[in-house]
Amino acid sequence: MTKNPPFHGIYPMMYAFFGAYGGLDRAAMRRQVECCLAAGAHGIAVLGLATEVSKLSDGERRQLIEWCAEDIAGRVPLSVTIYGNKAEEQLSLIDAAAAAGAGWVVLQPPRDLSMSEDDLIRFFGGVIDQSPLPAAIQNAPEYIGIGLTPDGITRLRHDHANFVLLKGEGPALLIRRIIEQTEDLAVFNGRAGLELPDNLRAGCAGVIPAAECIESLVKIYELMREGGAANEAEAERLYAQVLPLITFTMQSIDQMICYGKRAAARRLGLEVYDREPCLVPTEFGLASLERYAADFPLFD
C-alpha cells in the first residue's frame, strides 16, 4: 500500500436511475457513466448519498458496483462509497468493490447517533485496517447526523495508515483547517461542487459532485490546476455560470436527489422514476429548475 496514492480530480457521484417498474435501469446508468467520461471526469463514484444508497438493497448496491466497473472498463478509477451499520457489512461490500476492480472506497459512518467520537474512530479504524483497498471516510455530519471533528480525523489518520483520503462535506474554511491539521491526507469535498475554486485553493485534491454540470466542473478543475491569472479568471467565470443550479439543487440531500437528478436526466435524455420515500417535485420547483437548467445543452 503506497502512503500517498495519487487521488485527484472530479469524480461525479452517480445518481440511481430507476425504471418504470421500480428496478435499477441498466441503460440509464450506462448512459450516465459514458457521458461523464466523455466530459473528462477523472474518476467515477457510486453509492453515495446522491445514489440513494440507503434505499437500495444489498444486491442492488453490488449490481451498481459491477455495472459501473463494466462501463468504466479501466479507463478511470472507480470510487465506491460503503454503507453499513456493522463492520461485517462494510467489509463484505468492500470485498465486492475490490473484486470489481475499484480503486478506493469511502466509508460512511453507521447510522447510530449514540456513538461517541471515540466509538466512531474505533469503528472506522477496524474497517480501514482490514480493507484491501485504500480507504477514505465520508465526514458529513450535517447530512448524515454523525461524523468526526477535525481533531478526530487527525487521530484516525495518525493511527491508521490505510486511511489515506477524506471526503469532507463542508465549507472551504473548515476543509482548509482539516487540510492544515492532517498535512498528508488527501481531501476531496462534495456538496455538488459548491465553492469549487476555493476548495482547490484550500488544498483539496478534488471534488465529488454530481453529473448535471460535470463538464464545467472538470474544466474549472483543470484551469485551476494549470494556474495563472487568466486561467483562474476563466475558472471563476465558469463557476459563476454553474453556481445558480448548484445552489438550487444543494439546499438539501432530498432536494438534490429530486431536482439535481432531474437536471442530469434532462441533459442525458432520460426519464426520472422516483423510489419512495422521496421528495415529490412541485410545479414551482420544476419551474425553478427550468430557469436554472435551461442553458445547459443535452449531452452528446
Residue whose C-alpha is closest to residue 224's, from 193, 182, 190: 193
DSSP 250-285: TT-HHHIIIIIHHHHHHHHT------SS-PPP-HHH
Which DSSP category does 107 fall into?
E
- Which run of H or E residues covers position 4? none
3-state secondary structure of 161: coil
3-state secondary structure of 153: helix
Q: CA-to-CA distance for 300 and 174, rounded, in angstroms?
A: 37
Helices (H), the chain: 26-38, 58-72, 87-100, 117-130, 141-144, 150-159, 172-182, 196-202, 214-226, 229-249, 253-255, 261-268, 283-293
Q: CA-to-CA distance for 121 and 144, rounded, in angstroms?
A: 16
Neighbours of 231 (CB within 10 A): 15
pTM of the model: 0.96
Neighbours of 69 (CB within 10 A): 20
Query: What pLDDT is recorded for position 6?
Result: 73
Query: What pLDDT is recorded for position 3?
Result: 37
Q: CA-to-CA distance for 291 and 219, rounded, in angstroms?
A: 23
Q: CA-to-CA distance for 6 and 8, rounded, in angstroms?
A: 6
Q: How would you write the pLDDT of the chain (300 residues) with one tens digit per residue?
A: 333 347 999 999 999 999 999 999 999 999 999 999 999 999 999 999 999 999 999 999 999 999 999 999 999 999 999 999 999 999 999 999 999 999 999 999 999 999 999 999 999 999 999 999 999 999 999 999 999 999 999 999 999 999 999 999 999 999 999 999 987 899 999 999 999 999 999 999 999 999 999 999 999 999 999 999 999 999 999 999 999 999 999 999 999 999 999 999 999 999 999 999 999 999 999 999 999 999 999 999
